[in-house]
Amino acid sequence: MAEPFRHPLVRQILELARPVWALDYALGLMSWDRETYMPPEGVEARSLAASELSVLRRRLVLNDRLVELVERAQSRLDEMNDYERGVIRVLAREIRVARALPDDFVARFARTVNVASRVWAEAKRLNDFDKFKPYLEEVVKLVREKAERLGYDDHPYDALLDLYEEGWRTKDAERMFARLLPGLRRILDKVLSDEFYPRSHPYEGRDYDVGRLRRLARRLLEALGWDWRRGRLDESPHPFTMGLDVRDVRITVRYEGRDFRRPLYALLHEYGHALYDMQIDPALARTPVGAGASMGVHESQSRLWENVVGRSPWFVKAVKPLVDEHVGFTRDADWLELYRYFNMVRPEPIRVESDELTYNLHIYLRFELEKGMVAGEVRVSDLPELWDRMMEELLGIRPRSYSEGVLQDIHWSLGSVGYFPTYTLGNVIAGQLWSVLTREVPDMYERVARLELGWLREWLGARLHRWGRTYPPRELVVRATGAPPEPEHLLRYLEWKFLQLPSKLEGL
Ligand code: MG
């Protein structure tokens, strides 16, 4: 692309904003290193360094000259192109947040979640909710203060949600779940009463050779078109993606030695995130718009590759020879057996182990509880009981312990409240992309069956990835698909996959 930033005011602004990018780059690298190779005892110095850099970052964002130029630019938006307007929008938002949350508040928040997340890990290990309770109460107090400081129109939760999903409101999330839930329950009930998608599978309990699975992961990434000159694959306790630059994107997975679908689908998930980061227009790199549009849009990319592509029968059939070569024991059965193993449906207490049908019910539960905590309607001491009761209502199961119930996720201990619903939004957007893709590319799955995926990378690049944060997430989705996120597409996709496909698979 020709130079996207030509307006003299924007060029000055980008100059002043570059050190903010550099600090984010350093913080990103520090956090990648902390999760992968840092010796455990380095954690204290690392947190201190990161919080000092965050303070520095806030000062750079609130630099008088930068603030003045951004304010001046806001009255001259009609002279600018979309990219330039995007830069001003993103920076104005950053400035608003930085102003609302002063240094001493940010430091207090960081100190609190630092301790709380450590206590959480210990409490989870010991299955001891009471140990974590006072720390979570402290975090919730701070999160509520954060919402008040940020300001909101209708619900304090709006202020938090907006940090992860620009422009999204509590009522939007409520509407999304209200439209999704009845359909999910209906499909789930039918699938559970049938036996095509099994609740358990013998492969789950089989051990695999970690060295051979590592090689399989690399081969799979290569089949997806991975460029090792611009990407890495490492290992960490929780799989994640770190996009430091369009030419330096790193993903991680975890090998536990049993249940080989777990690392494989974590790999496909992180690949989707990584591809997004790699396909942002290089001309936007190192600017405020050179990143993914939002958590929800980012998650839609990971879910598209993990589920819509990766869990489809065509993909499973295509990669079966590779799996056989590296896993071995799958050779004794046909591809349909592998497909059923990869697509088990079972109400599970643990979110990260749940399937395409139950996953969003887990998210709904968290959304309701955290929204209630922020509104002051749910007390931390009532959480375990509310959690178990909702689990029973939604999934018909009760967690056997706090560790596989209310203590399972790290998010609340980190003060990441408002994050969860973006997971479901990601699934919704992925469903919508499936809808558009099947319409525009009717032979999509025949191509997947040949592992011909270059066209899909390009399609996603042109529709979504290249724009970075130029447009707010909702507008980006409208541009890419013709409409704002609508949950009906996801329901249609799930209905097709779980209710219609089974009878057609024999002859595939
Ligand atoms: Mg993800």
| b/e map 278-288, b = 16+ CB within 10 Å | bbbbebbebbb
Q: How far is the CA of 153 from the centre of ligand 1 (A)?
A: 29
Q: Is the dihedral of CA 165, 167, 173, 179 positive or negative?
A: negative
Three-state SS at 322: helix
- Whether 71 and 203 map to the same domain: the answer is no
Three-state SS at 206: coil
- Whether 81 and 194 map to the same domain: the answer is no
Pairing type for strands 248-253 and 231-235 reads parallel
Give how far Cα 171 sits from Cα of 103, 371, 445, 470, 486, Å. 31, 11, 36, 25, 14
* Structural tokens at position 503: 């009878």
Q: Which pLDDT score, from 0 to 100, does residue 479 have?
A: 98
Are the C-beta atoms of 425 and 431 separated by less than 8 Å?
no
Q: Tell whether 331 is covered by a domain.
A: yes
Choose among 92, 341, 62: nearest CA to 206: 341
* CA 290/CA 300 separation, integer angstroms: 18
Choose among 93, 89, 86: nearest CA to 466: 86
Q: Which pLDDT score, from 0 to 100, does residue 260 have?
A: 98
DSSP helix, strand, coil percent of the chain (3-state; round to 5): 70, 5, 30
State yes or no: is 446 an active-site residue.
Answer: no
Q: Which pLDDT score, from 0 to 100, does residue 195 have?
A: 85
- Whether 468 and 332 map to the same domain: the answer is yes
Q: Tell whether 137 is covered by a domain.
A: no
Domain end call among 60, 77, 100: 100
Q: Is the dihedral of CA 119, 124, 128, 134 positive or negative?
A: positive
Choose among 45, 102, 91: nearest CA to 68: 91
Are the C-beta atoms of 187 and 237 separated by less than 8 Å?
no
Q: How far is the CA of 285 from the centre of ligand 1 (A)?
A: 22
* CA 406/CA 203 separation, integer angstroms: 29
Choose among 139, 60, 180: nearest CA to 423: 180
Which of the residues 94, 165, 166, 270 is marked catalytic? Answer: 270
* CA 51/CA 113 separation, integer angstroms: 12
Q: Which pLDDT score, from 0 to 100, does residue 507 have?
A: 77
* CA 67/CA 13 separation, integer angstroms: 9
Q: Tell whether 443 is covered by a domain.
A: yes
- Whether 83 and 192 map to the same domain: the answer is no
Q: How far is the CA of 428 from the centre of ligand 1 (A)?
A: 14
Residue 368 C-alpha from the chain's centroid: 19
- Residue 291's CB: how many other CB atoms inside 10 A? 19
Q: How far is the CA of 488 from the centre of ligand 1 (A)?
A: 22
Instruction: Burial-class residue 410 by CB neighbours within 10 Å (0-12, 13-18, 19+).
Output: middle
Q: Tokens 């980061």 identify what position?
A: 277
- Whether 90 and 176 map to the same domain: the answer is no
- Whether 81 and 208 map to the same domain: the answer is no
Choose among 206, 162, 116: nearest CA to 374: 162
Give how far Cα 172 sits from Cα of 164, 207, 230, Å. 14, 44, 37
Pairing type for strands 241-245 and 248-253 reads antiparallel
Give how far Cα 231 sits from Cα of 223, 226, 291, 444, Å. 14, 7, 16, 26
* CA 426/CA 314 separation, integer angstroms: 23
Domain end call among 40, 68, 100: 100
- Whether 336 and 253 map to the same domain: the answer is yes
- Whether 96 and 204 map to the same domain: the answer is no
Q: Give 383's Cβ-side CA count (13 Å radius).
A: 26
Q: Tell whether 161 is covered by a domain.
A: no
* Tally of domains within the chain: 2
- Whether 96 and 174 map to the same domain: the answer is no
Are the C-beta atoms of 271 and 221 separated by less than 8 Å?
yes
Domain that holds residue 408: 170-504
Question: In a structure prediction context, what are the per-residue pLDDT tens digits for the chain, which is 508 residues long?
Answer: 789 999 999 999 999 999 999 999 999 999 999 999 999 899 889 988 998 999 999 999 999 999 999 999 999 999 999 999 999 999 999 999 999 999 999 989 998 998 999 999 999 999 999 999 999 999 999 999 999 999 999 999 999 999 999 999 999 999 999 999 999 999 999 999 998 999 999 999 999 999 999 999 999 999 999 999 999 999 999 999 999 999 999 999 999 999 999 999 999 999 999 999 999 999 999 999 999 999 999 999 999 999 999 999 999 999 999 999 999 999 999 999 999 999 999 999 999 999 999 999 999 999 999 999 999 999 999 999 999 999 999 999 999 999 999 999 999 999 999 999 999 999 999 999 999 999 999 999 999 999 999 999 999 999 999 999 999 999 999 999 999 999 999 999 999 999 999 999 987 8
* CA 288/CA 57 separation, integer angstroms: 13
Q: Which pLDDT score, from 0 to 100, does residue 506 have?
A: 82
For residue 200, what is the domain's CATH number? 1.10.1370.30
Q: How far is the CA of 302 from the centre of ligand 1 (A)?
A: 6
- Whether 88 and 176 map to the same domain: the answer is no
* CA 470/CA 279 separation, integer angstroms: 14
Domain end call among 85, 100, 115: 100
Q: How far is the CA of 222 from the centre of ligand 1 (A)?
A: 20
Choose among 108, 447, 470, 137: nearest CA to 294: 470
Q: Which pLDDT score, from 0 to 100, does residue 43 have?
A: 87
- Whether 273 and 384 map to the same domain: the answer is yes
Q: How far is the CA of 471 from the centre of ligand 1 (A)?
A: 21
Q: How far is the CA of 273 from the centre of ligand 1 (A)?
A: 7
Backbone angles phi, psi at 233, to 5 degrees: -130, 120
List all residues 6 or more positions away from 185 whose beta carbon is below 8 Å from its beta carbon.
none
* Structural tokens at position 307: 């589920």
* Structural tokens at position 97: 């947040």
Are the C-beta atoms of 180 and 494 separated by less than 8 Å?
no
Q: Tell whether 123 is covered by a domain.
A: no
Q: How far is the CA of 324 from the centre of ligand 1 (A)?
A: 27
Q: Tell whether 155 is covered by a domain.
A: no
* Structural tokens at position 382: 């009532």
* CA 413/CA 410 separation, integer angstroms: 6
Q: Tell whether 408 is covered by a domain.
A: yes
Q: Tell whether 482 is covered by a domain.
A: yes
